[in-house]
Amino acid sequence: MSNTETRSEKTTSTQAPVSTTPTSSAPTEWTIDPVHSEVGFKVRHMMVSWTRGSFGKFEGRVHYDERKPESLSVDVTIDAASIDTKAADRDTHLRSADFLDVEGHPHLTFKSKSAKATGEGSFELQGELTIRGVTRPVTLEVTDMGPTNKDPWGNLVRGAQAKARISRKDFGLNWNSALETGGVLVGDEVQILIEAELRAVV
């Protein structure tokens, strides 16, 4: 073996190891992808069944730092006129002054104020929900904040599910009709059901 080869081997063996520590932290700012998300609800109809609906237009931002989970915050704006219960006449009535009054109050909003971890990937979000210009405190239960994944185009994404229960009368949605057999046409409790796909803000 030549002296040159020996010197080369020694030089290689003393090189510092390559660091495997990530050079950047995980993203903390996310937007809600409306194409792959749903803001839905359901309410009792005639005391016997559930009527389901959703809003087709909305936008939102989420702050979530995995190192500080309780820093979770959510800010969502929903287009009230985009309500859809698969019945055109009913949707027209829901947009009217009897219910959402979309001409006077075109948006519904939710802004979180604090978050409390209740398990792995689950939280209670305390926030303010505004419907028809009326703002009330609401607890949004986040049931599944999923892990970060990468889609086929290289975007960082994660999923989340959330739900809440509200009284529509708390927001001034008082319209109803009595049934001949007793009870009312529309229930008071509204169950909110959210499926969200979040995309990292680059």
Distance set, CA 35 to CA 29, 43, 50, 190 (Å): 19, 24, 25, 24
Q: Say what the pLDDT of residue 44 is.
A: 83
User: Tens digit of pLDDT for each residue in 32-69?
Assistant: 999 999 999 999 876 677 899 999 999 999 999 888 88
At 29, is the secondary structure helix, strand, or coil? Answer: strand
Q: Give the tokens for residue 156.
A: 């960082």
pLDDT confidence bin for 146, thresholds 50/70/90: confident
Higher pLDDT pick, 178 / 153:
153
Helix (H) or strand (E) holding 201: none
User: Tens digit of pLDDT for each residue in 78-111?
Assistant: 999 999 999 999 999 999 999 999 999 999 999 9
Which of 145, 166, 158 has its CA nearest to residue 200? 158
Q: What span, in angstroms and rounded, lies between the C-alpha atoms of 52 and 86? A: 9
Q: What span, in angstroms and rounded, lies between the C-alpha atoms of 78 and 96? A: 16
Q: Name beta bridge partners: 142.
A: 123, 162
> Would you state the CATH architecture of domain 26-200?
Beta Barrel (2.40)
